[in-house]
Chains A and B, each alone.
Chain A
Amino acid sequence: MATVKIPPVLRASVGGEREIQASGATVGEVLRTLAAEHPQTESQLFSEGELNRYVNVYLNDEDVRVLDGLDTPVGEGDTLVILPAMAGG
């Protein structure tokens, strides 16, 4: 199981949780598990099967864009950080 850190804008879609445990062997699988268990997150994370361009995902501290994207392998105890931009000042 990996830990997924949920950003503030998505917390309402996961019952207010700040972290979710989700299974999957890759970044894509973990996020799809999350979306299956919390369907409201689906459209916020994906469009046409791809990760939305405005959502950044980090495996531990590394941007998955510089790894293998959704195909990046996820190990036990890894943390995924979902990060949309915020603009509040």
Chain B
Amino acid sequence: MSPSGADVLKQIKARIEEVDPADVREGLGNGVVLVDVREPEEFEAGHIPGALHVPRSYLESRIEGAVPDRDAHVVLYCASGNRSAWGAHTLQELLGYENVESMRGGIALWKDRGYDVEVPRALTREQRERYSRHLLIPEVGVEGQQKLLDAKILLLGAGGLGSPAALYLAAAGVGTLGIVDDDEVDLSNLQRQVLHTTDRVGVAKVDSAQETINAINPDVEVVKHQLRLDASNIMDVLPGYDVVIDGLDNFPTRYLLNDASVRLRIPVVSAAILGFDGQLSVFAPYEGPCYRCLFREPPPAELAPSCGANGVLGVLPGTMGLLQATEAVKLVIGKGDPLIGRLLLYDALAATFTEVKVHRDPECPICSRDPESISDEEMGVFPDYEAFCAAAG
């Protein structure tokens, strides 16, 4: 006679390790990876804080993404400790996880003990559908998507770099996109500035950007800053944003942005383009170098041509702007290795990426100091600033 399900479960439990909720609670923060194996709606109704979510039905296919280290100390839990026992047996016997336990009594016993339970804000049905491909990757999931929906990202310029970044950040569900641009759409922009359309030539870029973004994703609130960023307004514009995407077209404003962002401790995802070449880095104040650590001073005007004057391959800002968007998303969801302390050089003609190291300058005029000590007057200033601006026209 075949054994009953209850008999098999009993045998399974004898072959795996079970652990008491009190021990799990103690182990959290000490390297224990806690995995909730219940169904999505159970997880959303409340789970143990810090737990990863891999439903039991997807355990075999998704556990490696969530817990790549086979030697990690993994604790599975479910509602009452049965499904997690099956799961632990699978991980141990079939997938080679060396140190797996199942939490006895499940979250029911955890709650009985009065331990903390986190109830995530739920995504709407439409959001679950819209962001379903994000929810499927463990690095994003519901938690990461909520972070994106809560995020406020400022795009400096709705031009070549800002356009592709805005499109994908909007699609990704970044809750607030601020856009700084005082320009109007020009026919010569359309070769690369893909936020804008032929019928919007002459329209303010911030308005055109808002129209495109909201057509892609009504979840996104667009904050329009129709102005030219300068020392008199930058400290009003930047505060409140989590990440700044720098697609500026001139040096004085890039230095000004650097100084203000260091002062406000806001990370900047910076890119620059010319011809067939692009540069990209992430400047995270006090965590890595700042823009001034990398470029102590700007080159003279004759060695600093702009795309307007010298041209740029239309596709290039697409590539660089999307790398910026990728770095911004990583910063928001807190995953991966951001491009901090590294400068990525892209040569489109050669089809090569080169990476060089960027170090914090212990004598940096800005980020070697306390942010509070940086005054309004010194922001954006560099040697020969006036001569530079005069030469640049």
The residues of A with any CB-CB pair to B shorter than 8 Å are 5, 7-9, 18, 44, 52-56, 58, 61-63, 65-66, 81, 83-89
Give which listed residue, A61, A84, A88, A89, contacts B299 with CB less than 8 A.
A84
- B356 pairs with A81, CB closer than 8 A: yes
Residues of B close to A83: CB separation below 8 A: 279, 343, 345, 356
Smallest beta-carbon distance A34→chain B, Å: 16
Q: Which of B160, B250, B312, B354 has the largest count of A CB atoms less than 10 A from its CB?
A: B354
Judge if B215 is at the interface, Cβ distance under 8 Å: no
Judge if B297 is at the interface, Cβ distance under 8 Å: yes
Judge if B305 is at the interface, Cβ distance under 8 Å: yes
Q: Is the interface of A mostly helix, strand, loop or mixed?
A: mixed
A88-B306, A89-B162 in contact; A54/B274 too (CB < 8 A)?
no
- B295 pairs with A18, CB closer than 8 A: no
- B345 pairs with A81, CB closer than 8 A: yes
- B297 pairs with A54, CB closer than 8 A: yes
- B347 pairs with A18, CB closer than 8 A: yes
> Bound complex: CA of A53 vs CA of B357, how far in Å?
17
Smallest beta-carbon distance B340→chain A, Å: 15
Residues of A close to B296: CB separation below 8 A: 53-54
Smallest beta-carbon distance B377→chain A, Å: 22
> Bound complex: CA of A7 vs CA of B345, how far in Å?
10
* Nearest B residue (CB) for A60: B356
- B295 pairs with A56, CB closer than 8 A: yes
A9-B303, A18-B347, A81-B345 in contact; A87/B254 too (CB < 8 A)?
yes
- A89 pairs with B159, CB closer than 8 A: yes
List 4 extra interface pairs beyond A58-B356, A65-B359, CB under 8 A: A9-B299, A89-B246, A89-B248, A89-B273
- B356 pairs with A8, CB closer than 8 A: no
Within 8 A of A (CB), among B333-378: 343, 345, 347, 349-350, 354-359
- B303 pairs with A89, CB closer than 8 A: no
> Bound complex: CA of A7 vs CA of B298, how far in Å?
15
- B160 pairs with A62, CB closer than 8 A: no
Closest 6 CB pairs between A and B? A85-B295, A86-B272, A89-B247, A88-B307, A54-B299, A89-B249
> Bound complex: CA of A88 vs CA of B192, how far in Å?
13
Residues of B close to A55: CB separation below 8 A: 299
Judge if B251 is at the interface, Cβ distance under 8 Å: yes
* Nearest A residue (CB) for B354: A81
A54-B297, A54-B300, A81-B345 in contact; A88/B274 too (CB < 8 A)?
yes
Judge if B276 is at the interface, Cβ distance under 8 Å: yes
Judge if B44 is at the interface, Cβ distance under 8 Å: no
* Nearest B residue (CB) for A85: B295
Q: Which of A8, A56, A85 has the largest count of B CB atoms less than 10 A from its CB?
A: A85
> Bound complex: CA of A34 vs CA of B246, how far in Å?
34
Judge if B157 is at the interface, Cβ distance under 8 Å: yes
Give which listed residue, A53, A85, A89, contacts B307 with CB less than 8 A.
A89
- A18 pairs with B297, CB closer than 8 A: no
Residues of A close to B357: CB separation below 8 A: 58, 61-63
- B356 pairs with A18, CB closer than 8 A: no
- B276 pairs with A8, CB closer than 8 A: yes
A18-B350, A61-B355, A63-B359 in contact; A85/B275 too (CB < 8 A)?
no
> Bound complex: CA of A9 vs CA of B306, how far in Å?
11
Smallest beta-carbon distance B258→chain A, Å: 11
> Bound complex: CA of A63 vs CA of B343, how far in Å?
11
> Bound complex: CA of A62 vs CA of B353, how far in Å?
15
> Bound complex: CA of A7 vs CA of B359, how far in Å?
21
> Bound complex: CA of A56 vs CA of B361, how far in Å?
13
- B356 pairs with A63, CB closer than 8 A: yes
Judge if B161 is at the interface, Cβ distance under 8 Å: yes
A8-B276, A44-B303, A61-B356 in contact; A85/B345 too (CB < 8 A)?
no
Residues of B close to A61: CB separation below 8 A: 354-357
Within 8 A of A (CB), among B302-350: 303-307, 310, 312, 317, 343, 345, 347, 349-350
A18-B347, A62-B357 in contact; A88/B273 too (CB < 8 A)?
yes
- A62 pairs with B277, CB closer than 8 A: no
Judge if B271 is at the interface, Cβ distance under 8 Å: yes
Judge if B294 is at the interface, Cβ distance under 8 Å: yes
Q: Which of B295, B345, B349 has the largest count of A CB atoms less than 10 A from its CB?
A: B295
Residues of B close to A62: CB separation below 8 A: 356-357
